[in-house]
Amino acid sequence: MTLSDLQPDRKLIRIRQGKGKKDRYTLLSDKAMEVINQYITYYEPQKWLFSGEDQETHISERTVQVVFKKALEKAGIKKDLSVHCLRHSFATHLLESGTDLRYIQELLGHKSSKTTEIYTHVSNKDLARIQSPLDSMWKNDRI
């Protein structure tokens, strides 16, 4: 990711050649931007936000995996997880907070809504709170 891929005014990050070798935009939270700004201030990256061994190359996928594994260890998480689980968690949290599946599809870069629908079986947290329209009509003496 280059510095120009950050669009804090629009709260977006441009993802280049992500999963499926697709380009897309995804959300950039205010909190994440605060941390990124601290990082930029301290490390003063020139081209790549996270450069590799030299400033002309970006961090490798393998290095990201190693950093992720170390973060899991530091957090005391014993599950065998990959960086990819962050993508699933992101989608599941969006779904559980009420984000429309079509927006999630766009953020994940899925061509088919069927691909995005795999997250619906993971998220059934709020099913018990959903009220049947019949109950709603009954409560309001409409029937």
Confidence band (pLDDT; 50, 70, 90) for 8?
Answer: very high
| Residue 46 contacts residue 53 (beta carbons within 8 Å) | no
- Tell me, what's the pLDDT at 116? 85
pLDDT digits (tens, 9 = 90+) for 85-113: 988 888 888 888 889 999 999 888 888 88
Edge-to-edge strand ranges of the sheet holding 6-7 = 6-7, 12-15, 24-27
pLDDT digits (tens, 9 = 90+) for 21-71: 778 888 999 999 999 999 999 999 989 999 988 888 999 989 999 999 999
| Residue 96 contacts residue 123 (beta carbons within 8 Å) | yes
Ramachandran category for residue 123: left, alpha or beta (phi over 0 → left; psi -120 to 50 → alpha)? beta
Q: What does pTM read for this prediction? A: 0.71
pLDDT digits (tens, 9 = 90+) for 67-84: 999 999 999 999 999 998
CA 23 from chain centre, in angstroms, equals 14
